[in-house]
Structure 1
Amino acid sequence: MTRDSFHVFQANARNALKQSEQVPSILICAGTGCIAGGAMKIYDNLKTECEKRGLPVYVGLKHDTDAEKSLHVKMSGCHGFCEMGPLVHIEPMGVMYIHVKPEDCHEILEKTVLGGEIIDRLVYHLDGVAYPRQEDIPFYKKQHRVVLENCGSSDAEDIEEYIAKGGYAGFEKALFEMTDEEICRSIIDSGLRGRGGGGFPAGQKWDGARKQKSEKKYIVCNGDEGDPGAFMDRSIMEGNPHSVLEGMMIAGRAVGSDEGYIYVRAEYPLAVSRLKAAIAKAEEYGLLGDHVMGTDFSFRIHVNMGAGAFVCGEGSALTASIEGNRGMPRVKPPRTIEHGLWAEPTVLNNVETFANVPLIIRKGVDWYRSIGTKTSPGTKAFALTGNVVNTGLIEVPMGTTIREVVFDIGGGIRGGKKFKAVQIGGPSGGATTASREHLDLPLDFDSLKSIGAMIGSGGLVVMDEDTCMVETARFFMEFTQKESCGKCVPCREGTKRMLEILDRIIDNKGTLEDLDLLEELADTISKTALCGLGQSACKPVQSTLKYFRDEYLAHVVDHHCPICNKEKPHPTIDPEKCKGCGKCRKNCPMEAITGAAKQVHVIDPEKCINCGACVTNCPFGAIAASK
């Protein structure tokens, strides 16, 4: 494909898209979440219903102007409103149905697609108000979908539709109208910062690799995404894979590379499948391979599957894994841009970072900087999970507050309970509180650092009043300790000791000295661990010790956590079996049992710590253990 033939293809694709927009279209969310809920069965049922009516079904863009009756059926990427899936979007009406079941297909086709009628029971309702159109739903109101824009509106595997909506135009511009230095300058001036967690300026990284004197350079995309509850990169790879390829191709052109790798965890089979399909299509159309568009620029992309090691999210461990070695980090410097994959200069960014690049080149630096904040331009995708009404995938301008995300987009806390905290950035991040200072804190790279948290890859776990923050810290420490590669002593041994202390505290057997030791260990590990993952492993503990110290004190001083005890039923005394011997009362360490001799005894649930001493000391089996 030459530049001229690309323009012809682009024009034809745009015309086909306009033509298809005049025909009824059904977009079935085919992200991993909705597929798990039965989206593929919905897709099959809709096609069967169409066949019964003799209605032609178009899977790609429609070019046939003679067909009077037809239906365009697409499997799109993630719409984001995962809590309400499976989702079905109907155009040109703009109607979105939630919790769709395969048996709803007949009614959807009959009433909505052919009859123009809205099925109220399938529409999203909130406080008695129906929201048939996606853009009116409060969940989407404060979002600004840039990277995710095509995920819910396009066929994820259709390169023609991607090109019709502006795809590969940024690469074409970079290839024919810009020098390598100009491309790097645009990314620098845009202020794009790495979305993988660290927030390092992407343009500076590219320009550093560009200046390296080497005949071989590599572009590597980090799609490992190992944080618990995070699925932003997965959704982009599943729903808009060509944007990732295009970003890598522009990076290759900028730094002088002819080869790229996408490192994806094997637990993302749908992402792997769609990436491989996108690569095959791009090669078929001459956008990838040798002498792209008739130029001397050649570029090929490979997909490499990882085995699910959390540490392989770290750059040097990731490149070691691609090379066929055990995924373990190395000492830096030298940096990856100097000594990366196979010891050659390498640009390594994550999925979301690369997906932003084509838009910056195509729409311009000023457009990009008009979104977000001065020091953190653009948007950020977050996985919103936990005790919040609306969970799912969101994208908001940098600088959006935690309050807006939790209460406006997330719909507040489930069950009318009180908001308590948000864990931001997974095991590498920290917890924020319900204080006004934290709720109104902008979500950007610099603001979060001021309170000991970080954006990380973008996981947001919302917690309510019934969450024990000590238990939360232990959960993340247990994850980090299990995932430690073991190469450096601070991480390998330090996190193990911290986990042992947290286990002791949770069991109400800790001491005040344990809190001091936790802080000392956390400080040492943060300063001496080999890689960034080890250095940030203690953030959940450090932030909860700082902002929720009273809960640690409840465990180590009172030996009784009211939150943990609330979640676990207390032992009860059967009045029919109790003889009033007093052995349970005498052996209770908290003096939680009262009763006169030879009278039925009673357990005070406010004092009980569920230690089980009363159960083991009752000679009559009158006390039932909590379950």
Structure 2
Amino acid sequence: MERVNSLTELNKLSQKFREFVEARKSSTENDNVLSRHILVCQGTGCKSSDSDSIMHKLIENIEKVGLSDSVKVVMTGCFGFCAKGPIVHILPDNTFYVQVNPEDAEDIVNMHLLKGEVVNRLLYDEPTLNKKVCTQDEMSFYKKQSRIALRNCGFINPEDIREYIASDGYKALGKVLTTMKPDEVINEIIESGLRGRGGGGFPTGTKWSFARAYESDDKYIICNADEGDPGAFMDRSILEGDPHSVVEAMAIAGYAIGAQKGFVYIRAEYPLAIHRLKIAIAQAKEYGLLGNNLFGTNFNFDIEIKYGAGAFVCGEETALIHSVEGCRGEPTNKPPFPAEKGLWNKPTCVNNVETLANIPKIIIEGASWFNKLGTDKSKGTKVFALAGKINNVGLVEVPMGITLREIIYEIGGGIKDGKKIKAVQTGGPSGGCIPESLLDVPIDYDSLTNIGSMMGSGGMIVMDEDNCMVDIAKFYMEFIVDESCGKCTPCRVGSKRLLEILTKITEGKATMMDLKRLEVLAETIKDTALCGLGQTAANPVLSTMKYFMDEYEAHIKEKRCPAGQCKPLLSYEITDKCVGCTKCSRSCPVEAIKGKVKEKHVIIKDKCIKCGACFNACPVKAIVMG
């Protein structure tokens, strides 16, 4: 083990470790490299689809044909294209195989490695070209992406510090410790225009400057890896695919504000991220990149992991701090802000995973490089987790200012089954539902806020014509009610009242007066709740009322759910198209359908539980939903 005592020594190590990643460069840059690296996604999604077995089978078959000396199988983090995992990427050939099974390993070795023939059935079928494509560059999913926070995910082995160092890892830390003063580091981040990627979008450099300004014997850096939004997996994927970027950034932040201790607050439901983070911290200590006298200076910095129990409210920084202290995760009034009195009443800076992952690259490339990306007030890129009714579910990183339409249709591949889009939810439970008519609004902090949503941590859930927007608002309010810490009355009581009114609407029991109460109560909670969770809790309600009022009115006035999702308002009728095939009656779990063979059947309304089994079973579409 070689301890790094200077930036010169790190540069020598980086050059020495180039062999670990050299073969992954394109063949045009690397003509003398004869070896191949087979990168296998080992993120949570692909591991759940047996990518471990794929790796083992590849290694087994490579050994069998005697290629062990020239072919290396490498585990990596998430490639982002989760809809088509497990993924195997062969470099420097740049052949991108999707939906690989363990049984495919033999063909990859025998055909691709031995014979030089592409395994055509494993290539991605690119819909925009109407043909299979071989390389990542040809795939529309990647064409508009700009990877900064995700730069190493899917490229390096996250459990091997040598690969991170070979990819310029820890050079930013060495640079700031040996050539920059703390104020210069902070000014660089301010000049970059980087804003917090965890929700509010507060300028990162400004937050650091506040924490630095306060005098104290002890200061702390906290990495918020709680990530509680439904459908969000950005931070998890970064920690699984590139944990050293966060470790390095925390040390840089510590130097900037004068802190010698950092904590990563991560939900216990992220076992793989925790496992790789532990490995990264241990390896950094072994190389002298964490601990005492980093890079031969008098700067000391260490990191400890703290586990959260999955409370959404602990994404709010004061609640998170209380949880780290071992107290109940409840927010407190601000000011004082954590920069003045945070962890154990000491100056504390809280940044989320994605924010920190940008820091080393900004230090290496410079603020002007970063702030050329994005818009005037929202610089750089943003990572989004695409989920819901979209073809290309996955993780994407795009420049700020790109439109929702570009993400959904050009990167996300459009809506499943050719259906029409109805809305996009951004910002998680704290965000809003954006209608199709606003998909051309540029994605930046201010634009999303202006239309009743927010950037949030980066969850993006797509909804189609079959989604009921009243039911969606109810779903998010159920989540808020469950996750409210209960400290303040507007959130504790108000959110429950919102849920009760929404439930009445979806059951067809509400009046137009209830709709007015819903709006007034939502606005009141927004204005009076204690923390960010409560203040934004009503966003899904207010945004759906603003853009989809016709659906609310249909539920109340017509006792009808236009999307056919609210069961109490559903009814099924068998029309004269019925041919008496009996499939509907045989599919009914409660025997609510009567009729003889080759005769029209009838639904007994009192017995019908509105499960929709008959509707789905009818081969001639004789059953209509009202």
Q: Same fold by TM (over 0.5)?
A: yes
Mapped contact 1:45–1:102 kept (Cα < 8 A): yes
Query: What does 1:118-267 align with in structure 2 at a 5 Å threshold?
Result: 118-127=118-127, 128-267=130-269
1:506 aligned residue: 506
Query: What does 1:507-546 align with in structure 2 at a 5 Å threshold?
Result: 507-546=507-546
Mapped contact 1:108–1:119 kept (Cα < 8 A): yes
Mapped contact 1:383–1:394 kept (Cα < 8 A): yes
- Alpha-carbon distance in structure 2 between the residues aligned to 1:294 and 1:87: 42
Mapped contact 2:21–2:156 kept (Cα < 8 A): no
- Alpha-carbon distance in structure 1 between the residues aligned to 2:514 and 2:367: 51
Question: Once structures 1 and 2 are overlaid, which stretch shifts more, 8-17 or 410-419?
Answer: 8-17
**What displacement does 1:564 show?**
2.1
**What displacement does 1:153 show?**
1.1
- Alpha-carbon distance in structure 1 between the residues aligned to 2:94 and 2:167: 18
In structure 2, give the amino acid aligned to 1:308.
Answer: G
- Alpha-carbon distance in structure 2 between the residues aligned to 1:566 and 1:534: 26
**What displacement does 1:16 show?**
5.0
- Which runs of 5 or more residues in structure 1 are unaligned? 57-68, 576-599, 604-613, 617-622
**What displacement does 1:15 show?**
5.1
Structure 1 ranges of 4+ moved more than 6 A: 566-569, 600-603
**What displacement does 1:294 show?**
1.5
Mapped contact 2:43–2:237 kept (Cα < 8 A): yes
Cα gap change, 1:322 to 1:625, in 2 (>3 Å)? closer
Mapped contact 1:76–1:155 kept (Cα < 8 A): yes
Q: State percent identity of aligned pairs.
A: 53
2:16 aligned residue: 12
Cα gap change, 1:15 to 1:93, in 2 (>3 Å)? closer
- Alpha-carbon distance in structure 1 between the residues aligned to 2:353 and 2:135: 30
Query: What does 1:548-627 align with in structure 2 at a 5 Å threshold?
Result: 548-564=548-564, 570-572=571-573, 615-616=605-606, 624-627=608-611
Residue aligned with 1:564, SS: coil
- Alpha-carbon distance in structure 2 between the residues aligned to 1:96 and 1:565: 39
CA deviations over 1:188-212 (Å, ceiling 9, x no partner): 1110000001000000000111111
1:366 aligned residue: 368
**What displacement does 1:2 show?**
1.1
Query: What does 1:28-43 align with in structure 2 at a 5 Å threshold?
Result: 28-43=40-55
**What displacement does 1:293 show?**
1.7
In structure 2, give the amino acid aligned to 1:401.
Answer: T
Residue aligned with 1:166, SS: coil
2, 5, 11: which is aligned to 1:2?
5
1:65 aligned residue: none
Cα gap change, 1:624 to 1:368, in 2 (>3 Å)? closer
Mapped contact 2:561–2:570 kept (Cα < 8 A): no
Mapped contact 2:23–2:91 kept (Cα < 8 A): no
1:351 aligned residue: 353
CA deviations over 1:247-292 (Å, ceiling 9, x no partner): 1111001011100000110110000000010000000000000111
2:317 aligned residue: 315
- Alpha-carbon distance in structure 2 between the residues aligned to 1:625 and 1:227: 32
Mapped contact 1:573–1:624 kept (Cα < 8 A): no
**What displacement does 1:126 show?**
2.9
Residue aligned with 2:457, SS: coil
1:465 aligned residue: 465
Mapped contact 1:570–1:625 kept (Cα < 8 A): no
In structure 1, give the amino acid aligned to 2:182.
Answer: D
**What displacement does 1:9 show?**
1.1
**What displacement does 1:570 show?**
3.3
User: TM-score, normalized by length of structure 1?
Assistant: 0.89
Mapped contact 1:90–1:113 kept (Cα < 8 A): no
**What displacement does 1:515 show?**
1.0
**What displacement does 1:77 show?**
0.5
Aligned length: 573
Cα gap change, 1:184 to 1:625, in 2 (>3 Å)? closer
- Alpha-carbon distance in structure 2 between the residues aligned to 1:484 and 1:439: 31
- Alpha-carbon distance in structure 2 between the residues aligned to 1:11 and 1:70: 20
- Alpha-carbon distance in structure 2 between the residues aligned to 1:385 and 1:15: 37
- Alpha-carbon distance in structure 1 between the residues aligned to 2:575 and 2:549: 37
- Alpha-carbon distance in structure 2 between the residues aligned to 1:19 and 1:394: 25
Question: Once structures 1 and 2 are overlaid, which stretch shifts more, 130-139 or 215-224?
Answer: 130-139
1:45 aligned residue: 57
In structure 1, give the amino acid aligned to 2:58.
Answer: L
User: TM-score, normalized by length of structure 2?
Assistant: 0.89
- Alpha-carbon distance in structure 1 between the residues aligned to 2:316 and 2:268: 17
Mapped contact 2:389–2:464 kept (Cα < 8 A): yes
Residue aligned with 1:207, SS: helix
Mapped contact 2:421–2:463 kept (Cα < 8 A): yes
Mapped contact 1:571–1:625 kept (Cα < 8 A): no
- Alpha-carbon distance in structure 1 between the residues aligned to 2:112 and 2:304: 43
1:432 aligned residue: 434
- Alpha-carbon distance in structure 2 between the residues aligned to 1:232 and 1:549: 32
